[in-house]
Amino acid sequence: MTTFIASIDDPHAAKGYHRPRALVTTDWLAAHLDDRLVRIIESDEDVLLYDVGHIPGAQKIDWHADLNDPVTRDYIGREAFERLLCRMGIDATTTVVFYGDKNNWWAAYAFWVFQLFGFENARILDGGRTKWEQEQRPLVADLPRYAPSAYRAPERNDSGIRAFRDTVLRHAQAGGRLIDVRSPAEFSGQTTHMAEYPQEGVLRGGHIPGATNVPWARAANPDGTFRTADELRAIYEGEAGLTPADEVVTYCRIGERSSHTWFVLTYLLGYDRVRNYDGSWTEWGNSVRLPIAR
């Protein structure tokens, strides 16, 4: 049976993370490609990457098609999540390893959605697709087949790690800590979208009053791996002034980049009161009578 016991030889334990078992290395994954208790999930911004080539045995999760409700702007409910995992051959005994492009941007988002359903046996491949490719490890185009599971999902729980607009408003008015993980240009209101991306419908630029800007990708090294705990604390505590006792809300445009920062604060630094505001600037910047700052 697969185990994830951290030891002094574990490179993630050596980097000082609060929960080193939340990550696996490329070496570990390469040695467990045929492990029947492991399922590998690729979730990318570029949805065509998986078809071009993926880690052997990996299955694809499309964040829009698989994780979002087709009618309501919300995530899928218990029954749809249950069907998704059954189709992928995943149950409570399965270790799910997420990876993707752009420093695991969407992989962290998929990981976060799985946590809304209390799926704790989940890991992220440190370095993601970038590191796997840099090490010239195998990529394949064939689609894996797994026997369906009999997984039974609990109801989705939004109360612990997800923040909604009115809660964020009260949090901001009370002087609570908000981390805006977008680019400085988006934070200042100079632009309403990421560089080289289209404008996606928000009416106003700026940020939530009281928010601190810490771009999400600062948490990653050039090879896509996460920075050490000491380096992360220098950013989020030394520069942004956070403390582990703070109640923190992270946000970006639709909650995808901020899920990466949520993972860093929660799993790598041990903050236990972090929520991701997935409505983010797309909702806030379009809402009537909500304050903004520039």
Which positions are catalytic? 252
Q: What are phi and psi of 128, to 5 degrees?
A: 55, -150
| Sheet with strand 23-24: strands edge to edge | 23-24, 122-125, 95-99, 38-42, 58-60
Q: Exposure pattern of 205-214 as b/e (b: 16+ CB <10 Å)? A: bbbbebbbbb
For residue 23, the surrounding DSSP H or E stretch is: strand 23-24
Cβ proximity of 114 and 96 under 8 Å: yes
Which residues is 181 bridged to in the sheet? none
Structure tokens at 109: 């988002």
Compute the half-sphere exposure of residue 129: CA atoms within 13 Å on the CB side of its CA: 27
**3-state SS, residue 194:** coil
